[in-house]
């Protein structure tokens, strides 16, 4: 049981480049989300999805796109990377968006934009 798998673990981009962070879960979870973690701050929600075909913006969505074509996959796209997007990104999933359900996190992607 792999849980939540994120790729890549590390990435360096040049300003203006685009890329996709991959996230997959094998637990048949409805709810998936992307967070960024910056020094001295709590994790902040970028985008989330409550099921295939349904996505919504979180607290810091600008510069990022998501899609949810299947239950398993929830990729995060950086359209035109900026140094302000240097961060550690975490994908998470849970069985349900509401109620007392445990959250499962991926190993994180450390992104540096130069």
Partner 1 sequence: KNEVEQSPQNLTAQEGEFITINCSYSVGISALHWLQQHPGGGIVSLFMLSSGKKKHGRLIATINIQEKHSSLHITASHPRDSAVYICAVRSGSARQLTFGSGTQLTVLP
Residue with smaller CB distance to partner 1, 33 or 85? 33
| β 109-113/10-13 pair status | parallel
Short-list 19, 24, 20, 21, CA closest to 92? 24
Candidate ranges 16-24, 55-63, 67-75, 76-84; the one touching partner 1 (CB under 8 A) = 55-63
Q: Is 12 in the site for partner 1 (CB under 8 A)?
A: no
Site for partner 1 in 15-54 (CB under 8 A): 33, 35, 40-45, 48, 50
Residue 86 in tokens? 């240097």
Short-list 74, 86, 88, 89, CA closest to 17? 86
Residue 5 in tokens? 């798998």
Residue with smaller CB distance to partner 1, 30 or 73? 30
* Separation between Cα atoms, residue 67 and residue 55, nearest integer Å: 7
Site for partner 1 in 74-103 (CB under 8 A): 90, 92, 97-103
Which residues of the chain form contacts with partner 1 (CB under 8 A)?
Answer: 33, 35, 40-45, 48, 50, 56, 58-59, 90, 92, 97-108
């Amino acid at each position: 049981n792999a849980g939540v798998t994120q790729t890549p673990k590390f990435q360096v981009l040049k300003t203006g480049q685009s890329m996709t962070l991959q996230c997959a879960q094998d637990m048949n979870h409805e709810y998936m989300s992307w967070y960024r973690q910056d020094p001295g701050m709590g994790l902040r929600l970028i985008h989330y999805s409550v099921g295939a075909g349904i996505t919504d913006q979180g607290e810091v969505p600008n510069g990022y796109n998501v899609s949810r074509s299947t239950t398993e996959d929830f990729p995060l796209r950086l359209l035109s990377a900026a140094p302000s997007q240097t961060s550690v990104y975490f994908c998470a999933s849970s069985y349900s968006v509401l109620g007392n359900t445990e959250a499962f996190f991926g190993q994180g992607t450390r992104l540096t934009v130069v």
